[in-house]
Structure 1
Amino acid sequence: MLQVDPKLRLPSSAELPCSDDTPVDNEDQNLLPNYLLFLLQRIWADRQDWFFAVDMAVYHTTGANPRVPVVPDAFLSIGVDRKKNGESRLSYVMWEENETPPILVIEMVSQTPGGEYDKKLEIYRKLGVLYYVIYNPKYWQRDRHQPFEVYQLVNDTYQLQLGEPFWMSEVGLGIGRREFVLGGFAQEGLRWFDQQATPYWDEGELLVQSQQQQAQMEQARQQAEQARQQAEQAQQQEQEIRQQVEQDKARLAAKLRSLGFDPNDL
């Protein structure tokens, strides 16, 4: 009997909606994940084997209906093309991505609970998402969780991890919270970190650091110049004192000779 590949009956990305049209509760749900994308574009500028999306539908076959997606606030996949056939993706369709699941999913808890700690956690477990980050800066007490939690899939079960920033060795990045200035306002958000727990800086921060370093170098140069001038001044004063002493000795010797004394006999 002829076997038919069930994937042949699955819709293509062009046939599927790009999202579930669920509005976000606040601007941070778009702003902060896009900031992570902005940083990643600089950190991995020379790589083309990753894809990071914000509020994009992920279509999969682990549920009852492959046309019903899950829409993370943000997710990262590694081992896929930056551009799908040279074009931007409308959605992330796993059967068109060689069944490559996101390696990292980020959910930001809003005023309206979205099943981040149960329903979505189970979906991501079935998908095989290795790291699941839940960022809950405002409602963590309501939800009886921590503001920042990282879950790692171990033996098909999510286990809460400790440490912040948390290093994800399979990703090659750490993730954690940090306060920074975004859009002219200081606020807390998620950041990428290196293995030494040093945050990756954005271009604005790098510019500020460069300006600060230049200012420190200029200050050090001015201090060195001031020290050089003070040393020269001290040397000149010492020379003037020696000259004054010699002049005083000469005048005294002349006075003694005028009185009939030999200075060498004294």
Structure 2
Amino acid sequence: MTPTFEVTSQTNLPQPTPPDISDLVIEDDQPVDSLYSEKLQRLLTNALYASFKPGIPFLVTANVGLFYALKTNPLVPDVMLSLGVSAPTNFERREDRTYFVWEMGKPPEVAIEIVSNRKGHELGSKLTAYAHAGVSYYVVYDPLVQLKELQGSRLAIFERQGSQLVPYDSTWMPDVGLGLTLWQGSFEGVTVEWLRWCDQEGQILLTGEERSEQLLELLRSHGITPPEN
């Protein structure tokens, strides 16, 4: 006899009740970043939206809360990258104004912390929390070389192995299709060292303005004078 199975429609199954987030503080107005950190966050987000083409949607944010568990304080990475998710089309729902892992369906791939002082616990409690949050790569950039644990290095990357984040000896993140490099140059009129995204060959990903300037230089090299605005 051929066995028979009763198929239950997925729509008839009880759906999980969304968690109550009405009491969660998901945004505030406290300015805590330095001018350098604020510029660097803009540089890192701008370059991805201008030049990163992974073939799938992605979301890159600066100073947005990462809620990974109820009744747990959120993390607020300086920069966060998540592949396979898109920004909401509007922000009327509270659930769409920050990064709830249970809403997005996954943790972000990359979280970057820019060290501004010695009290940020980037290599202590934050390292543990990002491991609990499930990020694939955790990046600590110390532009002023303030953390003794980095032994004079300005950049440290940690990779997920199991439930832990462990030191990673490369700046190329194959699961993301991106690398990181330290670059000396000018951004928004400031010439210092910057943390930049790069490809596997170490070529930096350009911002929208840099791409436009590169195109103008190409036109000029061919004797074409672009019209002035």
Contact persistence 1:18–1:57 (CA under 8 A): yes
Contact 1:72 1:105 in 2 (8 A): yes
User: 1:208, CA displacement in angstroms?
Assistant: 4.1
Cα distance in 2 between the residues matched to 1:109 and 1:154? 24
What one-letter code is carried by the residue in structure 2 that aligns with 1:189?
W
Mapped contact 2:140–2:155 kept (Cα < 8 A): yes
How far is the alpha carbon of 1:187 from its aligned partner?
1.6
C-alpha RMSD of matched pairs (Å): 2.7
Q: Which residue matches 1:225?
A: none
* Contact preservation (8 Å) 1:32, 1:190: yes
The superposition leaves residues 165-218 of structure 1 with CA deviations (integer Å, 9 ceiling, x where unpaired) of: x11111111112112211212121111111221111224333444455555556
Structure label with greater radius of gyration: 1
User: In structure 2, do the counterparts of structure 1 residues 162 and 140 end up closer, same or farther at CA, with 3 Å as the change threshold?
Assistant: farther
Return the match for 1:11 from 15, 20, 24: 20
Conservation of the 8 A alpha-carbon contact between 1:52 and 1:76: yes
Give TM-score scaled by structure 2 length. Answer: 0.77
Matched, 1:83 2:87: yes
User: How far apart are 1:10 and its partner, in Å?
Assistant: 2.2
Unaligned runs of 5+ in 2: 1-13, 224-229
Counterpart of 1:194 in structure 2 is 199
CA–CA separation in structure 2 for the residues paired with 1:217 and 1:60: 52
Q: Which fold has the larger relative contact order, with Cα–Cα distance below 8 Å and residues 6 or more apart in sequence?
A: 2
Map residues 4-153 of structure 1 onto 2, 5 A cutoff. 8=17, 10-12=19-21, 16-19=24-27, 23-44=31-52, 49-61=57-69, 65-66=71-72, 68-80=73-85, 82-84=86-88, 86-88=89-91, 89-98=96-105, 100-140=106-146, 142-145=148-151, 146-153=153-160
Q: How far apart, CA to CA, are the structure 1 residues paired with 2:148 and 2:166?
A: 21
SS in 2 for 1:72: coil
Q: In the alignment, is the contact (CA less than 8 A) between 2:185 and 2:193 conserved in 1?
A: yes
Structure 1 length-normalised TM = 0.67
Which residue number in structure 2 is paired with residue 206 of structure 1?
211
Counterpart-to-counterpart distance in 2, 1:129 and 1:123: 10
Structure 1 or 2: more helix by fraction = 1
Q: Which runs of 5+ in 1 are unaligned?
A: 219-266
CA shift, 1:28, in A, is 2.1
Query: Distance between the aligned counterparts of 1:46 and 1:160, measured in 2?
Result: 25
SS at match of 1:8: coil
Change (3 A) 1:53 1:125: same
